[in-house]
Structure 1
């Protein structure tokens, strides 16, 4: 079996889309994060733009941790395959591309000097990251020039100071930061913590001024499901492709990268001109609201009910006539009409989400979606429910049912420090913070035989919802009726009755 090399790729040894010549380009993008997501999202986009001649961007990938894939990348000439499979406009689609924009891969813990060398290069312009939601955190640590800092923001502060010192703090030496961590205001928060490090380390005032004036920390929103290495299919895919790729990344075709920043910066990284769904905007919030309410909200409104009904994956939920009918009702009648975007845009996005949910190549476990469902329901579902109440005077049936399903899911028992629920297929873990578990456990213990009392106790607990939900017109009554139906008939039968009207 052959392995990926630039010479073979450029010479036409492999029948696969790629940038002509597979050149090793000067590094203009420094990336902290070597995981599947960035490689199947940002780096894939950069490679597509390179292939169209819109950019000549080389990416240096730095591991965020001491353990990572830099050695594997180097062994493959910094090449890897992105395999896109899914549903578009009702049809299965598949495409494959070997990404060659990665010019270098390194472990900054083992070679901090090279990391600094890259950061002070005048050719460098962009800094991309995905260090997980916990990565952009303010953790105090000492400044030790010559040593790799532990936290990601401290790394950024140290690298920026090296660049400031080497290039004299000139106006044109600033960088554009594009963090992809899934937290709100990711760029704003990264900048705040970098400045905090600079202040604690006693660095010169001019450095902080340079950060403020000549560097851009942009807030971004990313969306693509990237399951990663197709382990179960690796042998078959290698035989089909004619080469082995230990770093292949499987992903869905859908992608969107929303970047909140000055329009002139888009000309420096014109990914949107390559037919990619990259949106530069001066207001990220409508796009965040769209994603949180339609994608995340639909997940939270349906996953717990579907799981209690005996289903295990999002795909099985879409294949089940009763559950999919419930989700369609909730999505298009109770969520989409209240998203503050043009009608055509929100309808198209919702239809795309439904296709993504039905992707046969992605196994998305429902139990994984149930993690911390109380806070998720409050953030993702409650705003749509309240907007429906404001327009119609009473809580909508489907979203109220989703809260009843949540209460049923949280019916469990404490044993050995763990809280577990039971469905027909057996027990399952209920994962949430200790305060939520204690409140739900106590409510079920005290009111398990009385749905109205249980609903009143849980919905009025402001620790859970940050407000008293019994004050929402019609909500408590609908939730109590739905919960009583679930307890009497079972989840799927209660759902069927709801859909039938």
Structure 2
């Protein structure tokens, strides 16, 4: 990227207005936007998904009170990218049907949750904020093996002890506490992460935190939350790969300005939201979202068909030396396995939502994965497997085992994860990174089973946070895993 290029900002964008350079400017004047949403976990996905829906909803209704304050949870890199750009960034779609480069202006502020935890509490407690959204990934919820708040987690323990909160659940509870003591205005907390019944999960974690506080400190907060806070469930879908230097160069060529915050996405985007809000909300349906009373069926289809197949292709593809998901799905053997997972194992477990053609959905999934313009790396999708397997694959496994069927393709996906953890290298000898919150435990478990598929399977099945107490005891599932691991090791 040229060191001489001007940076994307409000003033430099104004200079380009009307020049017809093949890009779309913000749908609303960012200068006029007032913050009504706080988003926890402002990574690339939020900027390519909810932030666009929110801006388009505001434009459709003429509302200027749905600007977004984004909160980074760990690294301050997004703050450092966007704040010198007045919150502006561009979205670069890749693939057939891609729209022109879009500059988004709905993010009006980015704060660091690690550096400024008190500011996060202040923003959520602000009475002008009516919606709090989250994309903090599965591990950001800090759950234990039973799915409850992990009170043994040192960061959770520190938040419970009263430090300025740095965990998501701690931030929410302390901010709701402040809100109740101040304006007491109702607010909606909307999880957008890939968790089954994500709203119900988050509500439960909030109450777990409250239950761990001294009763005098918690006061009547739980009762106030019950009447003034809603935790709807939602399902989100858009493939958003990591941004590369080439992407930044392409954005510069299209826009004529350097954008350090550009995000890349496929043309497709989907958002299904439970219509259960405590107060006002953006008219997201005017931007293409589906508002419904029944998210569960949509959620199961997406998690079990799209996300599970994504993980299968990531692990099998990485082991075969495929760098991207598109390369993996272009491998005829892997494409056949991916389709078989959806047809034979997943489909019998689903309750299909009204209006959804499941066969068409399956074909669309494979078509989206085959988009070579996205360059979605297999090792990126392979991250955090210990958190993803239970919500993407193991529900299907349990449902099929319950009716007496061992789901062979779901078992293959789990076995591929085991081989990925154990081998650490792909077919050409390149290292496979193990980026996982349980990495140390997984490496230790895999080491105990090196060279012996049976011992490897047994050792990894004993990681209860992933497999619970039931799956290690199922002889048919265990046998399928051992057979698949043996075949994968043999090439």
Structure 1: runs of 5 or more not aligned: 411-418, 449-453, 492-501
Residue 312, structure 1, aligned to residue 323, structure 2:
yes
Q: CA separation in 1, counterparts of 2:480 and 2:158?
A: 53
- Deviation, structure 1 residue 316: 0.9
User: Per-residue displacement from partner, 1:358-379 (whole Å, max 9, x unpaired)?
Assistant: 1223233334545676886676
1:153 matched to which residue of 2? 169
What are the within-5 Å matches in structure 2 for residues 223-302 of structure 1?
223-262=237-276, 268-275=281-288, 278-302=289-313
- Please identify which structure carries the higher strand content: 1
1:463 matched to which residue of 2? 462
Does the 8 Å CA contact 1:74/1:105 hold for their aligned counterparts? yes
Q: CA separation in 2, counterparts of 1:405 and 1:155?
A: 37
User: Per-residue displacement from partner, 1:148-173 (whole Å, max 9, x unpaired)?
Assistant: 43333333333223322222x3xxx1
Length, aligned pairs only? 458
Q: CA separation in 1, counterparts of 2:55 and 2:182?
A: 30
Q: CA separation in 1, counterparts of 2:57 and 2:87?
A: 18
Q: CA separation in 1, counterparts of 2:120 and 2:389?
A: 42
Larger radius of gyration: 1
2:372 matched to which residue of 1? 360
SS at match of 2:323: coil
Residue 162, structure 1, aligned to residue 162, structure 2:
no
Does the 8 Å CA contact 1:259/1:279 hold for their aligned counterparts? yes
What are the within-5 Å matches in structure 2 for residues 44-443 of structure 1?
44-53=52-61, 55-56=63-64, 57-65=66-74, 67-86=76-95, 91-107=96-112, 118-137=123-142, 139-141=156-158, 148-167=164-183, 169=184, 173-184=185-196, 185=198, 186-193=201-208, 195-196=210-211, 199-200=213-214, 202-203=216-217, 205-262=219-276, 268-275=281-288, 278-342=289-353, 344-370=356-382, 380-381=392-393, 383-384=395-396, 395=406, 398-399=409-410, 419-420=422-423, 424-426=427-429, 428-429=431-432, 431=434
- Deviation, structure 1 residue 335: 3.0
- Deviation, structure 1 residue 478: 10
- Deviation, structure 1 residue 426: 1.7
CA 20–217 in structure 1, closer or farther in 2 if over 3 Å, else same = closer
Q: CA separation in 2, counterparts of 1:435 and 1:61?
A: 33
When normalised by structure 2's length, the TM-score is: 0.76
CA 311–204 in structure 1, closer or farther in 2 if over 3 Å, else same = closer
Cα RMSD over matched residues? 4.1
CA 424–279 in structure 1, closer or farther in 2 if over 3 Å, else same = same
Does the 8 Å CA contact 1:24/1:102 hold for their aligned counterparts? no
Q: CA separation in 2, counterparts of 1:77 and 1:69?
A: 12
Within the candidate set 19, 27, 37, 1:29 is matched to 37
Structure 2: runs of 5 or more not aligned: 143-150
CA 398–233 in structure 1, closer or farther in 2 if over 3 Å, else same = closer
Does the 8 Å CA contact 1:157/1:194 hold for their aligned counterparts? yes
Q: CA separation in 1, counterparts of 2:160 and 2:449?
A: 50
Does the 8 Å CA contact 2:232/2:276 hold for their aligned counterparts? no
When normalised by structure 1's length, the TM-score is: 0.75
Q: CA separation in 2, counterparts of 1:470 and 1:131?
A: 33
